[in-house]
Structure 1
Amino acid sequence: MSTITNNDTFANPLPIVPATAAESDRSRESETSLESRDRELFDTIAEKYAAKDRSPSVRPARRLRLLQTMRALPQSSLQGKRILEVGCGAGYSVDYLPADYACYLGIDYSEMLIDLARSERQTDRATFATTNARDLKTDEPFDIIFMIGVLHHMDQMDEVVQNLVSLLAPGGWLVVNEPQPSNPIVGLARRLRKQCDASYSDEQLELTGQEMESCFASAGLTSLRLRSQGLMSTPFAEVPMKPSWLTAPASRIACGLDRGIEAVAGRLLTPLTWNVIVAGQKPCDAQSTLPNSQTPSA
């Protein structure tokens, strides 16, 4: 079990406690076969995956996707919040988030992606750790936990969500942004990409908003919110396009159109959009289920 402890004040970032070799082996042993294949894939394509966020055409769309996800929360301000990102990849959310959060922890089970995140994005308030979301335990709860395109890679979604809820402070929020299957044209584009792009896993699920809402409710979350996201900007978020002098402005225009259309049409867009956002709140009267953490020996 991966343990991350915080021996400093509540507002400070969470120091990373390196796992021992034995703990790493146990974590690998607990992986499902799908998780193992997914981790190996992302270790293999880590540099290529990180390069997306360096592309001038991709960055605006990925930033919009993250900010629209956060806007599903009743209070979009992150000031003073403790934030956990599951499936953080190379850590570029640190570039896109408003910088007024108290601390941010990004986790991923790809060691190669976390190495990139630590080398390029680690700050005094943003830290990264290699761990499986099913196993994560911390001393202090989080105010916000978010995932962008992560749940559909998991074959034990209910177990992951239940563990994440245990890491939330009472009144805290879990919010996810996931591909959804309503638009048949979008579904066809994804199937074609699976056939043509070796770096695109062919084992991904497509989750409806209702399926995610049901999962959240079963884990004890309330005040559920569902939003549609990504009509024109999502293709720019997924595939770097050239020439950048043309595609970067096109990406920004697509983002601007999406912001306006989503603000007006809201959930009416669900049959058309690439993604759906679901958020749920841990009841304020819920007792924290965080176990007493023990710092593993070095």
Structure 2
Amino acid sequence: MDEHGPVATDHAVRDRELFDRIAAKYYRKDLAPAARLARKHRLFQTLQAALASSDATVLEVGCGAGFAAKYLKGRFGSFCGVDYSENLIHYARVHNSGPQVEFVAANIKDFQPQRSFDVIFAIGLLHHLDDLDSMLENVVHLLKPGGWFVANEPHPGNPLISVARRIRKKIDTQYSAEQKELTATSLRSACERVGLQSVQIVPQGLFSTPFAEVPLKPQWLFVPFSTLACLTDKMMERLPATVLQKLTWNLIVAGQRKEGEG
């Protein structure tokens, strides 16, 4: 047994080793001004409904280098970030810690803290998992009754996303080839299987997402374009989901633990 849990699948081991290896390149996305704007926009849009209280206890699953804790400063009571990449957690502890903020190197399927959370969220994590149900079962266990789980995932219903991911798997050695495509239907079904209620699927990200994922150079040149993309997305994401569902790069899925469960 190690700190990542009693059993780590080959898939999980390979994924952890990949993110340990690319940690430095990964956290540089949030250090690039144009990319940072788009990544903050995605985070705020994902959590806008769930994070309604400034004293909420928050858990981020797959927290990476921990920048969400910095972006959400003042919007939570306490923040815990969990990731199974020790290199990313080390960076998070050194650069993004603060009052009521902690980072833990662990596999979420085996993470058993001595408290529960009002909000649990994950950005771009679920499609990396080989056992989504086990992860979500533990998420429900860690949620307070009435608490919310929220995730932001790539949207395979957008043909550009599907093609881009297939190409990147073939040509980018730093891109995990073991990712799954999670449709709106599969995300809803997964949440409902573990007992989450009031499950909602919301399209997100039309123009800002490419800026979030690819730090273009020179960054100073792309900051105004990223800013405009975020502002445009914020307005357009108010349109009905039926209008956006084939256009966006991402999907937000949200589900609530039943009130009164203990």
Task: Report the TM-score when normalising by structure 2.
Answer: 0.96
| Aligned residue identity for 2:244 | L
3-state SS of paired residue (2:34): coil
CA–CA distance in 2 between the matches of 1:200 and 1:231?
A: 22
Q: What's the counterpart of residue 86 of structure 2? A: 111
Q: Is the 8 A contact 1:173 1:279 kept in 2?
A: yes
Aligned to 2:145: 170
Structure whose residues are more often helix by fraction: 2
Number of equivalent positions: 262
AA in 1 matched with 2:174: S
**Does 1:34 pair with 2:11?**
yes
1:93 aligns with 2:68: yes
Contact 1:226 1:267 in 2 (8 A): no
Displacement of 1:97 in angstroms is 1.4
Describe how 1:144-159 pairs up with structure 2 within 5 A.
Answer: 144-159=119-134
Comparing 181-190 with 82-91, greater Cα deviation is found at 181-190
Matched residue, 2:118 = 143
Contact preservation (8 Å) 1:72, 1:225 = no
1:185 to 144, 148, 160: 160
Contact 1:61-1:255 within 8 A present in 2 as well: yes
In structure 1, distance between residues paired with 2:168 and 2:130? 21
- The percentage of counterpart residues that share the same residue type is 45
Mapped partners of 1:78, 1:51: distance in 2? 30
Q: Which amino acid aligns with 1:227?
A: V
Aligned residue among 46, 62, 66 for 1:69: 46
In the aligned structure 2, how far is the partner of 1:42 from the partner of 1:185?
25
Match of 2:173 among 198, 210, 213: 198
Range 245-254 or range 146-155, more displaced: 245-254
Aligned to 1:207: 182
1:13-62: CA deviation from partner (whole Å, max 9, x where unpaired): xxxxxxxxx543x72x5111111100000000001100010001100110
Comparing 80-89 with 268-277, greater Cα deviation is found at 268-277
RMSD: 1.3
Taking structure 1 as the reference length, the TM-score comes to: 0.85
Distance, in Å, in 1 between the alignment partners of 2:104 and 2:21 is 18
AA of the residue aligned to 2:179: Q
> Is residue 227–residue 267 contact of structure 1 (8 Å, CA) maintained in 2?
no
Please tell me whether the aligned partners of residues 69 and 96 of structure 2 are also in contact (alpha carbons under 8 angstroms). Answer: yes
- Find the aligned partners of 1:230 and 1:93 in 2 and give their Cα distance: 18
Which of 1 and 2 has greater Rg?
1
| Aligned equivalents of 1:41, 1:255: Cα separation in 2 | 30
Task: Tell me, in whole angstroms, the C-alpha distance in 1 between the residues paired with 2:157 and 2:206.
Answer: 12
Deviation at 1:284, TM superposition (A): 0.7
| Range moving further from structure 2, 246-255 or 161-170 | 246-255
**Cα distance, 1:189 vs. partner?**
1.7
The 8 Å contact of residues 154 and 161 in structure 2, kept in 1 or not, is answered as no
Please list the CA deviations of residues 66-123 of structure 1 after superposition, one character each: whole Å capped at 9, or x if unmatched.
11101243xx423110000000000000122141311000000000000000000111
Conservation of the 8 A alpha-carbon contact between 1:72 and 1:279? no
Equivalent of 2:29 in 52, 67, 92? 52
* Structure 2: runs of 5 or more not aligned: none
- Matching residue's letter, 1:156: D
In 2: Cα distance, 1:150 partner to 1:170 partner: 23
CA deviation vs aligned residue, 1:152-182 (integer Å, no higher than 9, x gap): 0001000100011000000000011111211
Cα distance in structure 2, aligned partners of 1:221 and 1:267: 23
Q: Distance in 2 between matches of 1:267 and 1:199?
A: 34
**Which residue of the partner structure matches residue 59 of structure 2?**
84
